Amino acid sequence: MNNIFDEWSLYSRILLHDYMRHQAISAKVANSLAEQVAPLRVLDLGCGDGWMAYECLKASPVSLYVGIDTSADALARLQSRPGIGSELGGGQMDLVCEDVRTALSRQPDAAFNMVLASYCLHHFSQAEKQALVQEIRRVLEPAGVFLWIDEVRHPGQTRQGYCQALEQDIRQHWKTLSLQEIEETLEHIRSSDFPEEESWMHAATQTCGFLALGLLFRDNLYGCCAFVPAAAESLDRSQK
Ligand SMILES: C[S@@+](CC[C@H](N)C(=O)[O-])C[C@H]1O[C@@H](n2cnc3c(N)ncnc32)[C@H](O)[C@@H]1O
């Protein structure tokens, strides 16, 4: 992967101008958490500067937030935020500057009740994604939730077809990036982005013991799906 995330300034403009729908997605997630009263223990994979977590969780109680990312610049920006969750600075925050594949394996079983993976998992091969989803299930408690936000291919759309659609969107809309930054971004996408179809995401999570709770957001490029451990979902249904 080329390292466009090592220096956060380019991606911070992608966030600022909402080119990847962070605002709509975070609003949907925050809304879905409106009834949340139990404190959240959140693991954020590829957390970046924490923008997504900060917005998704700003009205929710958070007692623990663990963010993992390889970008020291992004983590320094996250560190300077007032805090994640409704009680700003009230919860414990641990930031880990490391590859998610190694840092995740060190997290204890059932230590979290929310795992957030926002625009991170598309950087891995199918086999690596499957292994990461298995690990996500291991660190999630039975009543937890896994939020998978990512680039998502349409049924039958090839990786090349997806990358072309994304390139078209970027050339048309990402106007505040210089031509050189556009080319750097496209090079990163061609070498490092491996989005899946929604059906694959469902099958991969189901194999690891998850049930799809719902699609919180979808447009022509991006999606956000909530998954819960299968037993918890059936328990929840039996109580209604
Ligand atoms: C597209 S950004 C998403 C950032 C943030 N989660 C968001 O939604 O805005 C992808 C992030 O994943 C991180 N990343 C990519 N591969 C990684 C890996 N193998 N281990 C840890 N972090 C990784 C990058 O450094 C970057 O911060």
In a domain, 64, yes or no: yes
8-state DSSP, 124: S
Report the pLDDT value the prediction gives residue 89, as an integer from 0 to 100: 72
**Residue range of the domain that includes 129:** 9-238
In a domain, 122, yes or no: yes
Could you say which residues of the chain have pLDDT below 70? 1-2, 232-240
Number of domains in the chain: 1
Report the pLDDT value the prediction gives residue 231, as an integer from 0 to 100: 76
Report the pLDDT value the prediction gives residue 232, as an integer from 0 to 100: 53
Paired sense of beta strands 140-153 and 112-118, if any: parallel
In a domain, 3, yes or no: no
Find out whether the beta carbon of 99 lies less than 6 Å from any atom of ligand 1. yes
In a domain, 38, yes or no: yes
Report the pLDDT value the prediction gives residue 88, as an integer from 0 to 100: 73
Report the pLDDT value the prediction gives residue 3, as an integer from 0 to 100: 82
Report the pLDDT value the prediction gives residue 238, as an integer from 0 to 100: 39
Distance CA 208, CA 132 (A): 10
Question: Is residue 177 within 8 Å of residue 221, measured between CB atoms?
Answer: no
120 CA distance to ligand 1 middle (Å): 5
Distance CA 204, CA 122 (A): 13
Find out whether the beta carbon of 119 lies less than 6 Å from any atom of ligand 1. yes
In a domain, 177, yes or no: yes
What are the structure tokens assigned to 200, written together?
């694959």
Report the pLDDT value the prediction gives residue 237, as an integer from 0 to 100: 44
Residues facing residue 96 across a β-bridge: 68
In a domain, 97, yes or no: yes
CATH classification of the domain holding 125: 3.40.50.150
Q: How far is CA 109 from CA 54, 98, 139, 151, 226, in A?
A: 25, 19, 4, 28, 20
In a domain, 1, yes or no: no
Stated length of the chain? 240
Find out whether the beta carbon of 67 lies less than 6 Å from any atom of ligand 1. no
Q: Which residue has the CA at smallest separation from atom 13 of ligand 1?
A: 46
Report the pLDDT value the prediction gives residue 36, as an integer from 0 to 100: 78
In a domain, 4, yes or no: no
Predicted TM-score (pTM) of this structure: 0.95
Find out whether the beta carbon of 50 lies less than 6 Å from any atom of ligand 1. no
227 three-class SS? strand
